Each structure stands twice: as C-alpha cells, then as structure tokens.
C-alpha cells in the first residue's frame, strides 16, 4: 500500500505545487523501479501468482471418449453388442479392425505457456494372445517356420502429431502398462494424442467361435488414466 | 502497463489538497500495477514464498522387504462364493502395509492433486496341473473351436481371467478404519448393474490393475482357425504388477491413508441390459482354497501437489 512519504496533505489544506511534485516524483520512482532489491524475500505468495503461472497439471482419470458407460475405454473399435460373446467385451475384433496404429484418446492441453511437458499414460488391456504361435506362424523369432504373429500391444504418445514416446507394450492376455514421455514444447495449446497398435490377424487366427457368428475379442484397452504436467519456463 | 495521466503542476502554482489527494488516489488504486510496471528479471526464487508444487509426499513398504525366493510371502485368496473376498496387502506377520498420512492426514483444497504409484511382486497359484480349471464345467470364457481333422470340436479358454488390485483410501478419520475405493474406482458390487454376477463396471476401474494368472497358447497347433486339441495353459512366474492413480478435487477434503487391496478371480462379461456396458465379474467356479495369489514385497508412494 502506498503511503505519503514527503507530505501529508489534509482536506482543504493549501499546498505548494513543488510540494506535490516532490511526492509525485517519489511515487514515480517507485512505480518504474520495482526490482528484487526493493522486495523482501518471500514477498510473492502462491495467491499472488496467476493460475498456471509456473506449472499446470492435466488429469484425465478415467479419460472420456464421450461414449456412455465406457469411460476409460478405447471406443474407436467397439463391437456391436449383438456380435459380442456374452463373456467377453465390446471391443476390437477381426471384423472391425485391420491393422496399424489407431488413436485411443486425444485432447488439447491448455493453457500451455511453453516449456517441458511430461505425460504419463497408464492403462489395462486384454489381448487374445493364444494364437501368437500357430501352424503357419512363429512367435518372436522362434524355431518354427513362418512369419511372426506377435500380439504385443504397441503404445505411443504424440504431441501435435509428433511421436515423443513409443514402446512395445504388454503381451499377456490380461495386462497393464505404463508409458511416459516428455518434450520441450513451444507456447500454445498442445494436442495430446495416445495411440495403440494391436496385433493384426494371422493366417491361423480364429475369428469367430465354431458354429457361431459371435466374434472373438482380439484386443481392448480399459481403465486408462492420463496425467500430464507442463513446467513453464 | 499501468500509467497515470494527469496534467502537471507548474512550479509556483498554488493548489489545494483536493488535487493532491486525487493524485494520491491515482497511485493508490488496487490492482493498478501489472507485470509491465516491473523491470525485466525483477524477481528471483527468493521472492517466491511457499510455492513448491509439492505439498506432501510419502512412501511405504508393501508386504515384506525380502526378495529371496525363500523369503516370506502372503497368500491372497480367490473368492469362493458371494460376497467376494477383498484382501488388503500386508506382511507375513499379518500386519497391514499401507500409506499412513499421519494424525492430520493430507488436507487437500480445491485444485490439489493426489498421485499414487505402487508395485508389488506376485505369483499366481492356480490350476497348474491338468485338467486346467478354466475348462471345468461352468468356467467363464470358454468357447469352441473346430477340429482340424473334422473330428469333435474342442472347448478352449480365452485366457481372460484375472486378479484385480486396486486402491482404497480413508477420508473419514485418522483411525484408518473406513477404507473405501478411491474416487473413480468402485468396490465390488453384488449383482453389478442389475446382473446376476458380482463384480465391477469397467468404467469404474480408475485405480485398478489387472493381474494375469496364466497364459493360454496354441503352441503351434492352430491352423486356419482350427485346432487338434484344446489349448494348453501355462502359469506365469513371479513378476511385478504396478499401478498409477491420479486424482484432483474441487472441494476441501482430507486423505488419511491409502492402501492396496487384491481380489479375484474375475473375467470379462457383457451386461445383457441397459447400455450393454463391459463388466468385470467374479468367476466363482475358479474359487478354490488351492488357488491364490502369492505376494511378496513392493512399495507404494504418493505425492500431494498443486494442480497449477
């Protein structure tokens, strides 16, 4: 709070112009000269900083893709209930999925003032791993002839469309995973994209149950949670 | 930039206090200063008071601190019947092991964040010897494949059974007698979503980790979607499941402790009604005193921090 330092003017008091100018000059000196030498240590508390002044956390737990009843799940490939085994999930099967990377979750992180952006993606998955080694396929370079039919679930994190982290993911039938990545990013909103790459169909993989039209679940991601933190500098 | 524009007063000119006080008020208005009134590099870290983004942190042992295969281990039983069994993680002496945030707990205000990480070494003992229990009558996840030689078809298991480890917290008191599932996570429901099954809604597993007890493999037999025998199963060895949880609050609350619990065995299930959501339900046909998860040691850590 500013205080009179040169004169203390009272109501209806008559003053000289120089009296005013002296005080004016004193104020002006304070206004344009604030620096670390004039402020005591600890002068700036958290409440005086604007939100997201130094950092910003972004939480998506569970993530929402807008599909009712499916928070935290990938819903890009979601089998119709009528095509789903009663003791499996509406998920990826060999009729709705071919091959390649697909986006599980995408959002815009803002405000982002420029600096380091760290993302942790944790999730669970179901993978039909039983047929990673069949009559005509081998498993991860094994002794049998034939092409590999690995069922690893690939995972990767992208910022503004550029890959910042990628890994060979889980390979158990019911498994969990974590992938994290960090990158220096310029200021402005950042598009965070999380992608997965299930194994594609092998030549010997069964697609449906014998004598049934119900499709077998091949892969699903569920109980996903994402934490990101921007450290602005 | 905050700037005050007022006509100058000439030297020798007589003014009264009204003008002077108006000028005083010019400089006394709240919020008038902004970053442009401050020279570049005006502030350094010592000026920033108590703005560490971390408010609290803690870590604790899970189970026993012994990694030898002959070391102590604890059995986490499978659920034999409704209601299911949910067991908190502890050590071989029977003492619960969890994060205790002290007498005052961790007071969280709106905008605060709680993050938790854990890992825990386990091995699943279930159905090692044939016939595998996953093929017992009534076991979930069975389906049929055609025989390669046009003989009788074969019943196989899909391998999607799992244990479930998830986090509970006590936000009631430091007596730590009121652990419930953390926000976004559910404790098992009897007749979940109106079904005849006990279990979980998959969309409410925000603090959960699934743990696979075994793998099923074609082992080079499957050809053109057909098999010559049922698919063999094989148990996993020791491995270390892990989990991560993050939570932010908009209201004041206090967290007094966080613990890890284990339950099972569960299997995917499709809700036949409503939105036809995905469910994770108990398969009590897999409940048996001989089937359990053996847990040894691990660690759980948490931080309490500002969201911004």
Could you read off the pLDDT of B85-123 as tens digits, one per residue?
A: 999 999 999 999 999 999 999 999 999 999 999 999 999
Beta carbons of A27 and B245 less than 8 Å apart: no
Q: What is the ipTM of this complex?
A: 0.87
Check whether A39 has a pLDDT greater than 90.
no
- Contact predicate A19/A37, CB 8 Å: no
- Contact predicate A32/A25, CB 8 Å: no
CATH of the domain at A100: 2.60.120.760
Q: What span, in angstroms and rounded, lies between the C-alpha atoms of B215 and B213? A: 7
Q: What span, in angstroms and rounded, lies between the C-alpha atoms of B138 and A137? A: 32
**pLDDT-based confidence at residue B174 (cuts at 50, 70, 90):** very high
Residue B19, classified by CB atoms within 10 Å of its CB into exposed (0-12), middle (13-18) or buried (19+), is middle
User: Quick one: tokens of A8?
Assistant: 């203390």
Same domain, A85 and A32: no
Query: Residue A85: what pLDDT?
Result: 95
Question: Could you tell me if residue A74 is inside a domain?
Answer: yes
Partnered with residue A124 across adjacent β-strands are: A176, A222
Better-predicted residue by pLDDT, B178 or A38: B178
**pLDDT-based confidence at residue B46 (cuts at 50, 70, 90):** confident
Query: Residue B129: what pLDDT?
Result: 54
Using the structure block, give the residue that is written with the tokens 């970053």.
Answer: B35
Number of other CB atoms surrounding residue B250 within 10 Å = 10
Same domain, A72 and A167: yes
Question: Could you tell me if residue A49 is inside a domain?
Answer: no
Bond into A62 cis (ω within 30): yes
The average pLDDT across B272-283 equals 91
Q: What span, in angstroms and rounded, lies between the C-alpha atoms of A58 and A71? A: 17
Q: What span, in angstroms and rounded, lies between the C-alpha atoms of A24 and B8? A: 10
Q: What is the DSSP string of B174-199?
A: TT----EEPTTB---BTTGGGSSS-E
Inform me whether the C-beta atom of residue A120 falls under 8 Å from chain B C-beta atoms.
yes
Distance from the A101 Cα atom to the nearest Cα atom in chain B, whole angstroms: 23
Question: Could you tell me if residue A48 is inside a domain?
Answer: no
Check whether A57 has a pLDDT greater than 50.
yes
Beta carbons of B217 and A130 less than 8 Å apart: yes
Residues present in chain B in total: 308
| Helix intervals (H) in chain A | 17-32
- Contact predicate A209/A217, CB 8 Å: no
**pLDDT-based confidence at residue A28 (cuts at 50, 70, 90):** low
Beta carbons of A129 and B37 less than 8 Å apart: no
Same domain, A227 and A130: yes
List the single residue in B with minimal CA-CA distance to A70: B203
- Contact predicate B89/B63, CB 8 Å: yes
Q: Which CA distances in Å does B179 have to A48, A168, B64, B175, B257?
A: 37, 36, 22, 10, 8
Beta carbons of B203 and A62 less than 8 Å apart: yes
The pLDDT mean for chain B works out to: 89
Task: Select the residue of A55, A85, A130 nearest B218 (Cβ to Cβ).
Answer: A130
Check whether B172 has a pLDDT greater than 90.
yes
Model pTM above 0.90: no
Range of the domain at A22: 1-43
**pLDDT-based confidence at residue A53 (cuts at 50, 70, 90):** confident
Helix (H, G, I), strand (E, B) or coil at B296: strand
User: Quick one: tokens of B255?
Assistant: 């967290």
Question: Could you tell me if residue A50 is inside a domain?
Answer: no
- Report which secondary-structure segment, H or E, holds B23: helix B17-28
Distance from the B295 Cα atom to the nearest Cα atom in chain A, whole angstroms: 17
Task: Select the residue of A20, A43, A91 nearest B49 (Cβ to Cβ).
Answer: A43
- Contact predicate B17/A9, CB 8 Å: yes
Same domain, A39 and A141: no
Inform me whether the C-beta atom of residue A49 falls under 8 Å from chain B C-beta atoms.
yes
Partnered with residue A157 across adjacent β-strands are: A165, A194
Beta carbons of B269 and A16 less than 8 Å apart: no
Per-domain residue ranges of chain B: 52-306
Inform me whether the C-beta atom of residue A25 falls under 8 Å from chain B C-beta atoms.
no
Distance from the B93 Cα atom to the nearest Cα atom in chain A, whole angstroms: 29
Residue B10, classified by CB atoms within 10 Å of its CB into exposed (0-12), middle (13-18) or buried (19+), is exposed
β B54-63/B278-282 pair status = unpaired
Question: Could you tell me if residue A206 is inside a domain?
Answer: yes
Lowest-confidence range among A113-117, B29-33, B255-259?
B29-33
Beta carbons of B308 and A52 less than 8 Å apart: yes
Same domain, A120 and A24: no
Beta carbons of B210 and A223 less than 8 Å apart: yes
Task: Select the residue of A10, A72, A135 nearest B203 (Cβ to Cβ).
Answer: A72
Same domain, A22 and A109: no
Check whether A1 has a pLDDT greater than 50.
no
Task: Select the residue of B10, B143, B224 nearest A216 (Cβ to Cβ).
Answer: B143
Q: Tally the domains of chain A.
A: 2
Of the candidates B226, B230, B231, the residue with the CA atom closest to the CA atom of residue B148: B226
Beta carbons of A14 and B14 less than 8 Å apart: yes
Could you read off the pLDDT of A138-160 as tens digits, one per residue?
A: 766 555 566 778 899 999 999 99
β A154-159/A115-127 pair status = unpaired
Chain A contacts of B306, Cβ < 8 Å?
46, 55, 57
Same domain, A177 and A224: yes
Distance from the B277 Cα atom to the nearest Cα atom in chain A, whole angstroms: 6
Interface of A with B in 139-198 (CB under 8 A): 144, 172-176, 178
- Contact predicate A73/B203, CB 8 Å: yes
β B278-282/B180-181 pair status = unpaired
Inform me whether the C-beta atom of residue B302 falls under 8 Å from chain A C-beta atoms.
no
Chain A contacts of B19, Cβ < 8 Å?
20
Distance from the A133 Cα atom to the nearest Cα atom in chain B, whole angstroms: 5
Size of interface A-B (CB pairs under 8 A): 296
- Contact predicate A109/A231, CB 8 Å: no
Interface of A with B in 74-103 (CB under 8 A): 81, 84-91
Helix (H, G, I), strand (E, B) or coil at B109: coil
Chain A contacts of B244, Cβ < 8 Å?
120, 122, 178, 225, 227
Question: Could you tell me if residue A62 is inside a domain?
Answer: yes
Q: What is the DSSP string of A115-182?
A: EEEEEEEEEEEEE--TTSSBTTEESSS-SSSSEE-----EEEEEETTEEEEEEE---SSEEEEEEEEE
User: Quick one: tokens of A217?
Assistant: 């679940």
């Amino acid at each position: 709070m500013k205080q009179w330092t040169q004169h203390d003017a009272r109501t209806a008091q008559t003053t000289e112009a120089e009296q005013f100018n002296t005080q004016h000059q004193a104020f002006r000196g304070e206004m344009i000269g604030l620096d670390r030498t004039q402020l005591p240590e600890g002068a700036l508390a958290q409440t005086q900083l604007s939100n997201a002044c130094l950092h910003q956390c972004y939480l998506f737990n569970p993530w929402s893709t807008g599909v009712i009843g499916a928070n935290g799940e990938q819903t890009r490939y979601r089998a119709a209930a009528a095509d789903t085994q009663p003791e499996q999930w509406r998920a990826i099967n060999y009729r709705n999925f071919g091959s390649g990377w697909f986006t599980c979750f995408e959002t815009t992180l803002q405000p982002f003032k420029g600096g380091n952006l760290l993302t942790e993606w944790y999730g669970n998955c179901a993978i039909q791993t039983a047929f990673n080694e069949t009559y005509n396929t081998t498993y991860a370079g094994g002794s049998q002839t034939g092409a590999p039919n690995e069922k690893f679930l690939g995972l990767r994190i992208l910022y503004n469309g550029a890959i910042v982290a990628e890994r060979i993911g889980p390979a158990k039938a019911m498994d969990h995973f974590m992938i994290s990545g960090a990158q220096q990013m310029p200021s402005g909103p950042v598009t965070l994209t999380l992608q997965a790459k299930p194994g594609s169909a092998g030549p010997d993989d069964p697609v449906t149950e014998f004598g049934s039209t119900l499709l077998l679940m091949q892969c699903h991601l569920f109980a996903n949670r994402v934490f990101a933190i921007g450290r602005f500098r | 930039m905050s700037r005050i524009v007022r006509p100058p007063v000439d030297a020798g000119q007589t003014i009264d206090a009204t003008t002077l006080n108006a000028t005083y008020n010019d400089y006394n208005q709240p919020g008038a200063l902004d970053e442009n009134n401050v020279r570049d590099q005006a502030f350094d870290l010592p000026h920033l008071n108590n703005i560490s983004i971390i408010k609290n942190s803690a870590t604790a042992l899970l189970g026993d601190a012994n990694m030898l295969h002959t070391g102590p281990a604890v059995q986490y039983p499978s659920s034999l019947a409704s209601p299911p069994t949910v067991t908190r993680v502890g050590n071989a002496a029977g003492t619960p092991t969890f994060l205790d945030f002290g007498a005052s707990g961790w007071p969280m205000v709106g905008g605060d964040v709680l993050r938790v990480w854990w890992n825990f070494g386990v091995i699943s003992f279930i159905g090692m010897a044939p016939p595998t229990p996953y093929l017992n009558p009534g076991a979930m996840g069975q389906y049929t494949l055609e025989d390669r030689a046009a003989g009788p078809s074969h019943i196989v298991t899909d391998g999607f059974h799992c244990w479930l480890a998830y986090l509970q917290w006590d936000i009631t008191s430091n007596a730590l007698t009121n652990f419930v599932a953390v926000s976004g996570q559910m404790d098992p429901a009897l007749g979940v979503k109106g079904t005849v099954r006990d279990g979980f809604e998959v969309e409410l597993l925000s603090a959960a980790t699934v743990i696979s007890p075994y793998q099923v493999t074609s082992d080079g037999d499957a050809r053109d979607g057909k098999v010559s025998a049922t698919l063999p199963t094989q148990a996993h060895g020791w491995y270390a499941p892990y989990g991560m949880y993050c939570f932010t609050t908009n209201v004041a609350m206090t967290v007094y402790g966080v613990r890890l619990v284990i339950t099972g065995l569960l299997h995917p299930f499709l809700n036949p009604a409503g939105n036809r959501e995905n469910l994770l339900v108990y398969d009590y046909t897999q409940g048996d005193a001989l089937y359990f998860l053996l847990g040894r040691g691990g660690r759980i850590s948490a931080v309490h921090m500002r969201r911004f």
